[in-house]
Amino acid sequence: MTRLLLFTNEYPYRTGDVVFVQKEIDDLVALFDDVVVFCHARDTSAGMVELPDGVRYGGNLFEPAPEDAPRRLLEWGPAWLFLVAAWEELRSGRLFRHPVLFVLSSKVGITQAHRTAVREAIAGADDVVAYGFWAMGGGLGVPWLRGIRARVTRTHGYDLYEERMSSGYLPFRPFMYRRADRVLTISEDGSQYLRRNYRQSRGKIALSRLGVYGPERAPRHPSNPFWTIVSCSSVSELKRVGLILEAVCLLSDLEGARPVRWVHFGGGPLLAEIQEAVRGAPEGVTIELRGHVDNADVLDFYARERVDVFVNASTTEGVPVSIMEAISYGIPTVATAVGGTPEIVGPQLRTGELLGADPSPKEIAESLLAVLNADEGTYTPRELWEREYDARRTGAYAAGLVSTAGR
């Protein structure tokens, strides 16, 4: 009997990574006799989604349990692995820089792997694979598991690039990648980062892009006397929505510009600040700050209304799902060259225009104008989505990588 232990952050709860996991879960079910899901969810107030046939919920490893007591964890197996992990940290020069974070994070990982429900799930099948959908949170326990055929870890952004952490540290990376049988990355940039920084991952890395579902055909909407520009992200320092606002306001002054309608989907800590700033928008610029909305509402907007260009000004990214969704509807994009974004945006890909990592508002405005005034057929963004980011392809490919790990 083949069994998959799937470790997530929130799934099957309705928040967080549910939008990613749901695009792989049916394909995983098709390749395993059964799937047991363990999450690490802090907030469960949104309730659960319905699980597909062949999937059962194993429990929330974030919630404390009696077996978490330190004396219960001091078995020979976990203790030996802890010494191995500490040696890896010491050899890499990481242990003395972050000893407390290493110990605390190791306790979290050992605790997850030691849970009764997890051990019973391993004991109940003769061929078990563990898949950590993240290399943090719910995935911290994967390298500490014993008695299984293979360990697979997926990396994204926050759980991959150490310099993005305020501490500059992600726990027991050398140990995690040495114990992994396969490491999935969502971008080639992520794959190269692993090869450069963690020799333990070499020979195990597989590019496995996240994907999104798109319409059967890209909608065709008539032209408007104004341009519609859309962005979709949290309103935070990292996403630089204020920079987009400045660019949109400048755009109306550039030669050949039409009236502009900018629609932003997403809320966040800086939303009130942006709401105040839009009061100074020039004549000819209409701004709609939609705040937090369901993902389905964004896609419905793309289906019903003409969007001339999508814009993303992030300081850091993996490969943005928001851009995947936009190009699936045939919408060209202007975005910053950070993380894996150059793998999805650029004139050579015919998906849009790529900015530098730290553009000025004028540079963003000029790139927007270039896309908006381009001849029809200059950009064919949906073609890249069909080749690389269609979830009907990416989910099956990822499931295949997981099911064959360790063989």
Question: Which domain CATH number covers 313?
Answer: 3.40.50.2000
27 and 40 share a domain? yes
Identify whether 217 is part of a domain.
Answer: no
Return the pLDDT at 318. Answer: 87
Identify whether 219 is part of a domain.
Answer: no
20 and 44 share a domain? yes
Return the pLDDT at 61. Answer: 97
Return the pLDDT at 72. Answer: 60
Identify whether 218 is part of a domain.
Answer: no
**Statement: the pTM of the whole predicted model exceeds 0.75:** yes
Pairwise CA distance, residues 395 & 186, whole Å:
12
154 and 238 share a domain? no
Return the pLDDT at 67. Answer: 78
DSSP, collapsed to helix, strand or coil, labels residue 113 as helix
Tell whether omega for the bond before 12 is within 30 degrees of 0, i.e. cis: yes
163 and 309 share a domain? no
Return the pLDDT at 101. Answer: 96
Return the pLDDT at 75. Answer: 78
345 and 196 share a domain? no
Pairwise CA distance, residues 293 & 157, whole Å:
23
192 and 259 share a domain? no
- Domain residues for the domain of 253 are 227-389
372 and 398 share a domain? no
179 and 276 share a domain? no
Identify whether 27 is part of a domain.
Answer: yes
Return the pLDDT at 12. Answer: 98
Q: How many CB atoms lie within 10 A of CB 67?
A: 13
Nearest to 398 by CA among 131, 55, 150: 131
172 and 285 share a domain? no
Domain count, the chain: 2
DSSP, collapsed to helix, strand or coil, labels residue 375 as coil
Return the pLDDT at 132. Answer: 98
**DSSP structural state of residue 312:** E
DSSP, collapsed to helix, strand or coil, labels residue 317 as coil
Pairwise CA distance, residues 205 & 9, whole Å:
22
Express each pLDDT in 285-331 by its tens digit: 999 999 999 889 999 999 999 999 999 999 989 899 999 999 999 99
Residues of the chain short of pLDDT 70, as ranges, are 71-74
Nearest to 231 by CA among 287, 294, 157, 296: 287
Pairwise CA distance, residues 58 & 86, whole Å:
29
- Amino acid of residue 136: M
> To which H or E segment does residue 2 belong?
strand 2-7
| Mean pLDDT for the chain overall | 94
Q: Which residue has the tokens 């499931």?
A: 399
Q: How many CB atoms lie within 10 A of CB 98?
A: 17
Identify whether 9 is part of a domain.
Answer: yes
246 and 357 share a domain? yes
Nearest to 188 by CA among 318, 345, 380, 346: 318
Return the pLDDT at 71. Answer: 64
Identify whether 236 is part of a domain.
Answer: yes
Pairwise CA distance, residues 191 & 193, whole Å:
5
Return the pLDDT at 162. Answer: 93
Task: Please report how many Cα atoms fall inside a 13 Å half-sphere around the Cα of residue 376, on the Cβ side.
Answer: 2
396 and 316 share a domain? no
**How wide is the angle at C-alpha 16 spanned by C-alphas 15 and 19, nearest 5°?**
90
Return the pLDDT at 73. Answer: 61
Per cent of the chain over pLDDT 70 is 99
207 and 235 share a domain? no
